[in-house]
Chain A
Amino acid sequence: EVQLVESGGGLVQPGGSLRLSCAASGFTFSDHYMDWVRQAPGKGLEWVGRIRKKANSYTTEYAASVKGRFTISRDDSKNSLYLQMNSLKTEDTAVYYCVRVSHGMDVWGQGTTVTVSS
């Protein structure tokens, strides 16, 4: 079964840092681009960023709202995706989803909740 499981969410103060992880199983993780998408409470979906695969030099793209503060990385040997979030703001409060890119964003994790509050 194709599965993505996020972890690492929690409560953090403004200005703090948090690292999210996503464990992939049931497919060849290294063959796929991977995305992070977030959803603030009661709001719509917002794309956070993308990391390409090794053949594309693991290059990344980011939304303007997180560029310079968030970093996406991956470890293909561990079938894992990461989101390092620094200088967190209250507006970063959201459920963060790990998403496989195949035919579009075809497989989503269940999400992990990040709350930025003092």
Chain B
Amino acid sequence: DIQMTQSPSSLSASVGDRVTITCRASQGISNNLAWFQQKPGKAPKSLIYAASSLQSGVPSKFSGSGSGTDFTLTISSLQPEDFATYYCQQYNSYPLTFGGGTKVEIK
């Protein structure tokens, strides 16, 4: 199975900050990586697929990059509605696997 490791597991940031979350795959997954946002008590929301493609309706402050084993999600200017937990997920091979999550909290 491909292990997905996210870092950090949590971070504190202020409104307006630029935030970067890292996801590392235990083996190469090309660009078969997605990012999700989840708020407490809610279903996850898809943000990015194919490592860098924005889902329809997702604001451009979210961006993704990477290929192979190392990926990043960047939020260009953190807003109050962005405080949530973020997950990466590989879909290069079965079983599909998620990272452990990064909780973004208010400083």
Interface residues of A (CB under 8 A from B): 35, 37, 44-47, 50, 61-64, 97, 103-111
Structural contact, B49 and A104, CB atoms closer than 8 A: yes
Q: Does B45 contact A (CB under 8 A)?
A: yes
**Interface check B71, CB cutoff 8 A:** no
The secondary-structure label for the interface of chain A is strand
Query: Given the known A-B contacts A44-B87, A45-B98, A47-B97, are A104 and B44 also in contact in the complex, defined by CB atoms under 8 Å?
Result: no
Set of chain A residues within 8 Å of B94, measured between Cβ atoms: 50, 61
Q: Are A109 and B34 neighbours in the complex by a CB distance under 8 Å?
A: no
Q: Of B44, B89, B95, B101, which is within 8 A of A97 by CB? A: B44
Q: Knowing A63-B95, A104-B46 touch, does A45 contact B89 (C-beta < 8 A)?
A: yes
A-B contact pairs, 8 of them (CB 8 A): A44-B100, A45-B89, A47-B98, A63-B95, A64-B95, A97-B43, A110-B43, A111-B43
Interface residues of B in 46-61 (CB under 8 A from A): 46, 49-50, 53, 55
For B, the interface residue count at a CB cutoff of 8 angstroms equals 23
> Are the CB atoms of B43 and A108 closer together than 8 Å?
yes
B31 to chain A, nearest CB (A): 11
Q: Which residues of A contact B97 (CB under 8 A)?
A: 47
Give bound CA distance, A91 to B89, whole Å. 22
Contact (Cβ within 8 A) B101 A103: no
Interface-centre pick from B45, B94, B99 (highest chain A CB count, 10 A): B94
